Structure formats: C-alpha cells, structure tokens
Amino acid sequence: MKRVAVIGASGYTGAELLRLLANHSNVEVTVATSREYADKPISMVHPHLRGIYNMKFTKFDIDKSTSLADVFFLAVPHGASLNITPKLLEVGVTVIDLSADFRLKDPKSYEEWYSYNHPYPDLLRKSVYGMPEIHREELKGAKLVAVPGCNATATILASLPIVRKFYFDKLISDVKVASSEGGMKPTEGSHHPERENAIRPYDAEGHRHSAEVEQELSLIAKRKVIVSIIPHAVSSVRGVLASIHLWINDDLNELDILRYIAETYRGEPFIRIVRGGIHPYPDPKYVIGSNFADIGFSMEKRAKRLTIFAAIDNMMKGASGQAIQAFNITQGYDEREGLKYAPLRPG
C-alpha cells in the first residue's frame, strides 16, 4: 500500500486526483494540501467528495509530508514545482508533477515558452515525460514524472500514427478546449459565463504546449518536426478535441490509415479507435469522466487532405487520469488501476 500526498488538492486537477485515488486498491491518501483552505474539510471545497474523504486540507510542510507519504502528486501552478520537487527527490520519494516545470528537456525552451531560466537542467534530463503510449518502459521505476499538458496529449495522440509512417516537417493542430482548462480560479477570459456561446481562438500566435509536442514528435520521427497549436475556447465544461490537418501526396486509402492507427495503438488500454456508427468521428462528449482517448480520421480524396482526430477529457487523460496511469507504471501496478471508469452518457 502506497501512502500518497496530493499537493495543491483544492483545484480541479487535485479534486480529480482525490476522486480517482479513493478507488485505487493500492493507495492510501494521507496528505492533501491547500494554502487557502488549510484546516478546512475536503468536502467544503469539493462537495462531490462528501462522505468519501473525512480529511482536512493541511498546509504544505515538507518534513511532515514526507514522513506521511511515499508518492507526491503535484497539482500546482507552473513554476511552483521548482521550489518543491528537488527537495522531495532528495528525500527519496516519487514525484508525479502535473505542471510544465519538468516536461521540456532543453532548458532554453523554458526561456522561450515560460519566461524563466530553468535552475535544474539535471532534473530535466532525469524526468520522464509521462505519456505511457510513448514512454512506458522509461516510466517503470521512474522517480520524477512530468505529466503532459492536455492540449499536448490530444495533439500527440492524434499525430503519432502518421508521423511514424510518413515524412512531415510541419503540423497544424486545431484544438477545441473546454472551460475547465482555465482552472478553478476564473479570469475574465476563462470564466464560464464569458465562454458560453463563444468559439474563441487564443494563444493563436504560439501556444506553449507546442514545445512539448515538438519535442516528443521529433523524438519519434528522428527529425525536427514543427508544430503549431491553435486552441479555441468553447462553451463545454470538459473535453479537448484536436484536429490535425495534413496534405498527403502518396496514394493512400482509408484502409491504410486505419491500419497505421491500429498498429500504433494495438494493446493500449486507454486508446479507442472510432470508425463508423452513429457518430463516426471522435467527440469529447463520449469520453467525459474516463481516461480514454478516442482516435479517428477523415480523408478528402479530391484535396488529398487527411485529418486525424483525438478526443479526451482534459481533466482525465489530459491531466489527473494520465498522472495516475503513469504512477501505476512507475510502481509496477496494472496501469488501469483506479481508472476503470466508463465515460458518462449523457455527459
């Protein structure tokens, strides 16, 4: 039984971690921290967890927390993990970091995309990018896992089958994202009433998740791949839909593409291929509440246009669910443990 701490447990991703870990047979949550709600019951902030947790939030104290937990999930803002992770690793615990602080291998990328000089390039080299579909073997026994971003996850999962098979040096990812991506503290742009009935592009001149997508796809392709992500805020509460548009010169047919996707994701427990049926393309509506990623595609033969789609729940496969999947692999557990939820319908 692993004793687990959730640092930053009062936010959306923290709440999802608590919800999922409550049903994990190999885990006991012993620490849940919040600066703002310290000494308040978890159910006061997360009423859906009423009757599931009788704990109170505590302030983060590294000495006390490391005496109570073996694994730390960090659901903290970008930049905050830099002050916590090195100290935790010194003690010898496992860190599953949901922020962007250890996703990029090149320290210079943090200057470009996050506007700070990364102080721990040695830890960047040691961290494992927490996407099981790419790094399952490296995750086994890892002590520092950098959980991918939600828009990056959808973009990579959509792009992976085609990048492995064909030469592309540039990709465009059109991503529709739900309001929960903005976190629990609303801003004028992220507040749901301001997003209702809106379809609004943002970060259209360069979304920071592009950096980690380029890193991972270039690694797979063994060449430099440039990725441009254009996210659009839509009025749904949960979900991400990535559409990767490509122009194909080869004489491909739909069976070829279907075969490449099936070969790439054969045996993957959380990848589902969508083809035909009432709704023939992936839709975030049908993954809500689950760790599944639905992958599909369309071809326009006249224009030789191929589009690969990936639909995920941004709070699950895009954050807390993927974090727990990666955690399971680090510990040698069945990677489905704590994640055996079917999507909600209607949702």
Residue 64 maps to which CATH number? 3.40.50.720
Q: In what order do the strands lie in the sheet with 27-33?
A: 27-33, 2-7, 71-74, 94-97, 144-146, 128-129
* 129-147 pLDDT, tens digit each: 999 999 999 999 999 999 9
What pLDDT does residue 167 have? Answer: 78
Task: Count the domains in the chain.
Answer: 2
Residues 317-340 have pLDDT tens digits of 999 999 999 999 999 999 999 999
Mean pLDDT along residues 256-279: 95
88 phi and psi, to 5 degrees?
-65, -40
Q: What pLDDT shows up at residue 277?
A: 86
The CA–CA distances, whole Å, from 145 to 71, 111, 222 equal 11, 21, 23
Q: Are residues 279 and 165 in the same domain?
A: yes
342 in any annotated domain: no
Name the amino acid, one letter, at 185.
Answer: K
Q: 119 and 222: one domain?
A: no
Nearest CA to 134 out of 293, 299, 6, 311 is that of: 293
Nearest one of 51, 58, 45, 83 to 5, comparing CA atoms? 58
- Please report the pLDDT score of residue 191 as a whole number: 67
pLDDT, residue 165, reads 83
Mean pLDDT estimate for the chain: 94
For residues 289 and 340, the answer to whether their CB atoms sit within 8 Å is: no
Same domain for 272 and 161: yes
User: For residue 231, what are the domain limits?
Assistant: 150-314
Regarding whether 160 and 107 lie in a shared domain, the answer is no
Q: Is 219 a catalytic residue?
A: no
Choosing from 75, 100, 150, 233, which is the catalytic residue? Answer: 150
**Helix, strand or coil, per DSSP, at residue 235:** coil
Give 192-218 pLDDT, tens digit per residue. 677 778 889 999 899 999 999 999 999
Per-residue confidence (pLDDT) for residue 159, from 0 to 100 = 97
